[in-house]
């Protein structure tokens, strides 16, 4: 795999974890310190908070917020937390009125507590582990367009900076077989 | 050299780290293969794939390959490199799409065979050995660890063919040398494996008496088949001349460390001791040359630089310069120059009562003062105690180590040819061929057929 010989080298870094790890930040800082331009694809606007890389980094988020970009997460939150919360809120606004409904109100409160526990358990034990597995795949279609907006064909390297970025980066690498693509945060040949 | 019509016995030597690898244990493997070839054996070595050596660990010394006896056949069974694969174009669909599941699947497949990341290499070694054995029979299998998957391969070859095997514990497996404790929890499958491997081995070899005793205690039924073959030094790789004279008082004294610096070694204590030693007028301009790699991997370099008072480029940092100089890696074929250049050799070693370190034999062969920087109860004592130019503080206290550095420096200034000759004469008993001869005799007894006339292996 030969690397392009353009005057200013350019690396496309794909990092789709919720936060940029220190390792990835250091990598990007080292690259720009060596005069390498970096096209950086991150997950959401929040990922770039307190990251000031300067003009050599062209950063682009996939989503404003992942919650709204991936409907599955939004739907789960609505169905499991928001809708029951609204329903119980409505019910209790009625049962709280008057002493005669006190028993009903206590029952509604108990059911509400139970529902909160079950919803949390469902989210943590079932939905989230499955979503974590599926997330990198869901991100492929959601982020492919943004990634391809970078001039990847003329880049010197594609870097999958974290495990979440791997499925997308692998597919892009297949599309551009002449561009060196790696999951190693290797600084060579720009920094020895 | 083989002669007449007698067919030489065939040795299958399973040694993952073999030239051009530059791993620390490779010299024992190289010497063992060369020794058996010179003793008239038909030697086949199973070694690590070159792609692993060059691309994964990046740790090679091509000149070392030239020192392997040309009669030795080197085969390289395959190793599943997917865990080390970084290039996206080489990843499988599964590894790229479900990296976590692919990792778990690989782990499961490895553990099912042997609890080590080199299990796939061992499995392919067995398959290759069986194919080769069908064509022409092996007489004995000798396996050296680490990796200890080599032992599993030898055990399985024995199960399937009946060929006797010998295991050489070049390194420790189930004993953590740095904490002197078992390396695995009691329920770990390594114990079951070790029991059946040592139980089935025709001989088991260790590098020092302390290690033999520890294993004999655990496996008393096999104790009578346990032997010690210390690490020695290789005269074909090391001819040290006197070097320029340290007696000239106007020339700064040169201390030298040769080897790989690791996080287990008392690096901080060594640097501090040398700083304190340089406060003495006799050593005020002395330097401590570090010849070798910082860490085993390409990435581990940076961690050590500040500990040694060096900047990111490996140059002395004016703020914290205490005379330490990074001289970089040295090919094994060039180490004699390092020993000649330095007046005092610094024996920096990790671990305790089970650690000998291969380096100490070369140090002694150089016939120069040696100053110790290691735990006082290290197993290397058993060889160093007879060396006439050994200086030890019996402590890692920097003040005391500094004092022994000063004593060693004075000895280097006053060293006579007679003293040096006595030191070299003591080291000669640790020439590798002399140490390997008893092992060759044991294995010859297992082969069940005579070894043809051979050239002298001590030449």
CA angle centred on B94, ends B93 and B96, rounded to 5°: 65
Q: Does A177 contact B89 at a Cβ distance shorter than 8 Å?
A: yes
3-state secondary structure of A93: helix
A177 touches chain B (CB under 8 A): yes
- Kindly tell me if the per-residue pLDDT of B30 is higher than 60: yes
Helix B432-447 × helix B26-38 angle, to 10°: 60
Residue B221: pLDDT above 90? yes
Tell me, what's the pLDDT at B194? 97
| Segments in chain A below pLDDT 70 | 1-6
Q: Is B299 on the interface with A (CB under 8 A)?
A: no
Give the pLDDT score at A24: 93
Any chain B CB within 8 A of the CB of A186?
A: yes
For residues B305 and B423, the model is more confident at: B423
Is the pLDDT reported for residue B336 higher than 60? yes
Q: Quick one: pLDDT at residue A2? A: 44
> Which pLDDT score, from 0 to 100, does residue B312 have?
74
| pLDDT over threshold 80, residue B89 | yes
CA angle A61, A63, A67 (to 5 degrees): 140
Q: Which pLDDT tens digit goes with each residue over B392-436? A: 999 999 999 999 999 999 999 999 999 999 999 999 999 999 999
Work out the average pLDDT over B283-305.
81
Here the tokens at position B239 are 């001819």
pLDDT for B362 beyond 70:
yes
pLDDT of residue B364: 95
3-state secondary structure of A10: strand
In the block, tokens 């000649």 appear at B340
According to DSSP, the residues that pair with B345 across neighbouring strands are B256, B370
Residue of A nearest to B92 (CA): A170
If we measure between CA atoms, which residue out of B146, B85, B142 comes closest to residue B115?
B146
pLDDT of residue B339: 92
Q: Å from A50 to nearest chain B CA?
A: 27
Q: State the count of interchain CB pairs (< 8 A) between A and B.
A: 39
Mean predicted lDDT score pLDDT of chain B: 90
From the candidates A1, A147, A166, which should be mutated to test the interface with B, based on the most B CB atoms within 10 A?
Answer: A166
Q: What is the pLDDT of residue B453?
A: 61
Q: Enumerate the residues of chain A whose CB falls inside 8 A of the CB of residue B87.
A: 1, 180-182
Any idea what the Cα angle at residue B128 is, between residues B127 and B133, rounded to 5°?
A: 100
User: What is the percent of chain B where pLDDT is above 70?
Assistant: 94
pLDDT of residue A122: 93
Whether residue B319 has pLDDT greater than 80: no
- B110 pLDDT higher than 90: no
When CB atoms are compared, the residue of B88, B98, B101 closest to A169 is B88
Q: State residue A191's pLDDT score.
A: 84
The model's confidence at residue B240, banded by pLDDT at 50, 70 and 90, is confident
Question: Which residue in the set A1, A137, A166 is minimally distant from B89, CB to CB?
Answer: A1
Closest by CA to B321, choosing from B376, B284, B375, is B284
Range with the poorest average pLDDT among A43-47, B102-106, B311-315:
B311-315
Residue B450 vs residues B3, B36, B142: alpha-carbon distances, Å: 12, 13, 18
Express the helix, strand and coil content of chain A in percent, nearest 5 each. Answer: 60, 15, 30
Which of B203-217, B230-244, B295-309, B436-450 has maximum average pLDDT? Answer: B203-217
Chain B residues lying within 8 Å of A173, measured CB to CB: 88-89
**Average pLDDT of B129-142?**
97
pLDDT, average across residues B273-294? 93
Q: Which residues of B touch A1 (CB under 8 A)?
A: 87, 89
d(CA B153, CA B125): 7
Please tell me the distance from the alpha carbon of residue A96 to that of residue A105, in angstroms, as a whole number.
Answer: 6
Q: How far apart are the CA of A156 and the nearest CA of chain B, in angstroms?
A: 14
Q: What is the pLDDT of residue B321?
A: 79
Whole-angstrom Cα distance, residue A50 to residue A127? Answer: 30
A169 with B100: Cβ contact below 8 A: no
Contact B97 A167 (CB under 8 A): yes
CA atoms of B91 and B172, how far apart (whole Å): 34
CA closest to B312 among chain A residues:
A192
The answer on pLDDT for B459 being more than 50 is no
For residue A54, give the 3-state DSSP assignment: coil
pLDDT one-digit tens code per residue, B254-281: 999 998 888 889 999 999 999 999 999 9
Q: Which of B319, B46, B295, B55 is nearest to B156 (CA)?
A: B46
List of chain B residues whose C-beta atoms are within 8 Å of the C-beta of residue A160? 88
The whole-number pLDDT of residue B458 equals 42
Which one of A136, A173, A186 has the shortest CB-CB distance to B88?
A: A173
* Residue of B88, B100, B101 lying closest to A170 (CB–CB): B88
Integer Cα distance of B148 and B163 in angstroms: 19
Say if residues B308 and B295 touch (Cβ distance below 8 Å): no
Task: Determine the residue of chain B that is closest to A134 in CA distance.
Answer: B98
Asked if the model's pLDDT at residue B3 lies above 50, the reply is: no
The pLDDT, as a whole number, for residue B236 is 86
Residue given tokens 């292996």 in the structure block = B457
Q: CA gyration radius for chain A?
A: 23
Tell the residue number behind the tokens 């989503």, with chain if given.
Answer: A63
The pLDDT of residue B298 is: 57
Q: Which residue has the tokens 């990796």?
A: B147
pLDDT of residue B119: 95
How far from the centroid of its chain's Cα atoms is residue B75's Cα?
21
The residue among B317 and B369 whose pLDDT is bigger is B369
Instruction: Work out the average pLDDT over B53-67.
Output: 88
Minimal Cα–Cα distance from A175 to chain B, Å? 10
B252 pLDDT tier (thresholds 50, 70, 90)? very high
Q: Which of A133, A137, A181 has the CB atom closest to B88's CB atom? A: A181
Distance CA A51, CA B435 (A): 61
Please give the pLDDT value at position A14.
97
Separation CA B330–CA A105 (nearest Å): 81
CA distance B85 to chain A (A): 9
What pLDDT does residue B296 have?
66
CA atoms within 13 A on the CB side of B82: 19
Decide if pLDDT at B457 tops 50: no
Distance from CA of A28 to the nearest CA of B (A): 17
pTM, 2 dp: 0.81
The pLDDT score that the predictor gives to residue B200 is 97
When CB atoms are compared, the residue of A137, A171, A181 closest to B87 is A181
Tell me whether residues A181 and B101 touch, CB distance under 8 A.
no
Between positions 310 and 339 of B, the ones with CB within 8 A of A are: none
Nearest CA in chain B to A166: B96
B138 pLDDT more than 70 = yes
Taking contacts as CB-CB distances below 8 angstroms, the residues of chain A near B86 are: 182-184, 186
User: Using CB atoms and an 8 Å cut-off, which of residues 151-170 of chain A contact chain B?
Assistant: 158, 160, 163, 166-167, 169-170
Give just the sign of the alpha carbon dihedral A139, A145, A148, A150: negative
């Amino acid at each position: 795999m030969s690397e392009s010989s353009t005057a200013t080298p350019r690396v496309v870094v794909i990092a789709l974890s919720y936060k940029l790890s220190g390792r990835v930040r250091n990598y990007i800082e080292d690259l720009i310190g060596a005069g390498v331009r970096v096209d950086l694809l991150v997950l959401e606007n929040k990922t770039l908070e307190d990251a000031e890389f300067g003009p050599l980094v062209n950063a682009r988020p996939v989503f404003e917020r992942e919650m709204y970009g991936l409907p599955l997460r939004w739907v789960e939150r609505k169905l499991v937390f928001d809708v029951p919360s609204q329903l119980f809120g409505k019910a209790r606004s009625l049962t709280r009125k008057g002493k005669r409904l006190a028993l009903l109100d206590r029952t509604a409160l108990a059911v509400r507590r139970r529902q909160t526990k079950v919803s949390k358990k469902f989210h943590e034990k079932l939905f989230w582990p499955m979503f974590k597995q599926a997330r990198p795949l869901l991100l492929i279609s959601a982020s492919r367009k943004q990634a391809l907006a970078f001039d990847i064909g003329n880049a010197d390297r594609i870097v999958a900076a974290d495990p979440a970025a791997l499925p997308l980066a692998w597919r892009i690498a297949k599309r551009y077989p002449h561009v060196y693509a790696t999951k190693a945060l290797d600084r060579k040949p720009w920094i020895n | 050299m083989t002669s007449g019509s007698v067919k030489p016995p065939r040795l299958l030597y399973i040694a993952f780290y073999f030239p051009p690898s530059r791993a620390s244990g490779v010299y024992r493997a190289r010497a063992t293969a060369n020794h058996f070839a010179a003793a008239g054996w038909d030697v086949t070595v199973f070694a690590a794939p070159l792609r692993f050596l060059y691309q994964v660990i990046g740790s090679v010394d091509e000149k070392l390959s030239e020192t392997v006896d040309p009669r030795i056949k080197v085969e390289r069974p395959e190793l599943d490199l997917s865990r080390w694969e970084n290039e996206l174009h080489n990843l499988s669909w599964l590894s790229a799409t479900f990296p976590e599941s692919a990792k778990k699947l690989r782990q499961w497949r490895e553990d099912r065979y042997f609890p080590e990341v080199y299990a796939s290499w061992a499995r392919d070694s067995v398959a290759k050995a069986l194919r080769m054995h069908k064509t022409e029979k092996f007489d004995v299998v000798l396996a050296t660890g680490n990796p200890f998957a080599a032992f599993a391969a030898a055990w399985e070859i024995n199960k399937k063919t009946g060929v006797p095997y010998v295991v050489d514990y070049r390194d420790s497996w189930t004993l953590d040398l740095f904490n002197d404790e078992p390396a695995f929890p009691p329920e770990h499958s390594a114990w079951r494996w070790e029991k059946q491997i040592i139980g089935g081995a025709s001989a088991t070899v260790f590098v020092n008496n302390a290690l033999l005793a520890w294993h004999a205690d655990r496996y008393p039924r096999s104790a009578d088949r346990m032997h010690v073959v210390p690490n020695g030094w290789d005269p074909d790789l090391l001819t040290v001349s006197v070097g320029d004279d340290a007696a000239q008082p106007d020339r700064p004294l040169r201390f030298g460390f040769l080897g790989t610096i690791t996080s287990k070694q008392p690096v901080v204590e060594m640097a501090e001791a040398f700083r304190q030693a340089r406060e003495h007028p006799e050593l005020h301009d002395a330097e401590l040359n570090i010849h070798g790699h910082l860490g085993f991997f390409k990435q581990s370099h940076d961690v050590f630089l500040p500990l040694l008072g060096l900047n990111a480029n490996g140059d002395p940092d004016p703020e914290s310069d205490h005379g330490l100089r990074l001289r970089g890696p040295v090919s094994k074929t060039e180490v004699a120059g390092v020993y000649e250049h330095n007046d005092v050799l610094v024996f920096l070693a990790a671990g305790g009562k089970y650690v000998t370190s291969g380096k100490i034999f070369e140090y002694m062969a150089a016939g120069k003062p040696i100053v110790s920087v290691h735990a006082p109860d290290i197993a290397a004592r058993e060889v160093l105690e007879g060396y006439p130019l050994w200086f030890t503080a019996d402590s890692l206290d920097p003040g005391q180590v500094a004092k022994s550095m000063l004593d060693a420096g004075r000895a280097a200034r006053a060293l006579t040819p007679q003293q040096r000759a006595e030191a070299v004469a003591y080291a000669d008993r640790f020439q590798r061929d002399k140490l390997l001869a008893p092992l060759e005799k044991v294995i010859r007894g297992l082969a069940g057929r005579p070894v043809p006339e051979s050239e002298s292996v001590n030449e």
